[in-house]
Amino acid sequence: MGVVTKLPGREDSGKVLRPIAELPLYPLRLYNLAYYNQASLKMDNILTKTQRQQLNEDGFTILPGVLSNEQLAALKARLEELWLEEGEQAGHEVIIEPGVRRLANLINKGEIFQPLFTNLLLLEAIEIVLGPKFRLGSLNARAIPPHTDPKMPWHADTDYGGKPDKKGFYSLTVIWMLDDFTAANGGTHIVPGSHRSNTVPKEAMDDIYAPHPDELIVEGQAGDVLVMNGHCWHTGGANTTDTERRALLGHYNRADHRQQTNQQVMLSPQVQAQMNPLEREILGLNDWKITRIINPHSPLGRTLKRGLDQLRTTKQRLTQSQRPPR
Ligand X SMILES: O=C(O)CCC(=O)C(=O)O
Pick the closer one to ligand X by CB: 188 or 291.
Answer: 188
Rounded CA-CA distance 187/87 in Å is 25
Pick the closer one to ligand X by CB: 222 or 285.
Answer: 222
Q: Minimum distance from CB of 186 to ligand X (Å)? A: 6
Residue 161, exposed/middle/buried by CB under 10 A (0-12, 13-18, 19+)?
exposed
Site mask for ligand X (CB under 6 A), range 130-159, x = bound: ------------x--------------x--
Looking only at the bridges linking them, the beta strands covering 189-190 and 60-63 are unpaired
From 236, 250, 284, 296, residue interacting with ligand X (rule: CB under 6 A): 236
Site mask for ligand X (CB under 6 A), range 92-131, x = bound: ----------------------------------------
Q: Does 249 bind ligand X (CB under 6 A)?
A: yes
CA dihedral 264, 270, 272, 275 (to 10 degrees): -170
Rounded CA-CA distance 129/134 in Å is 10
Looking only at the bridges linking them, the beta strands covering 216-219 and 189-190 are antiparallel
Rounded CA-CA distance 155/135 in Å is 21
Q: Minimum distance from CB of 303 to ligand X (Å)? A: 33
Strand order from edge to edge, sheet including 3-6: 3-6, 216-219, 189-190, 234-235
Q: Minimum distance from CB of 244 to ligand X (Å)? A: 12
The full DSSP string for 203-226 is: HH-S-TTSPPTT-EEEEB-TT-EE
From 234, 257, 258, 292, residue interacting with ligand X (rule: CB under 6 A): 234
Which residues within the stretch 185-224 sit at the binding site for ligand X (CB under 6 A)?
A: 188
CA torsion sign, 277 to 281 to 285 to 289?
A: positive
Pick the closer one to ligand X by CB: 124 or 157.
Answer: 157
Pick the closer one to ligand X by CB: 135 or 234.
Answer: 234
Q: Minimum distance from CB of 157 to ligand X (Å)? A: 6
Q: Minimum distance from CB of 261 to ligand X (Å)? A: 14
Summarize as ranges the residues that interact with ligand X (CB under 6 A).
142, 157, 188, 234, 236, 247, 249
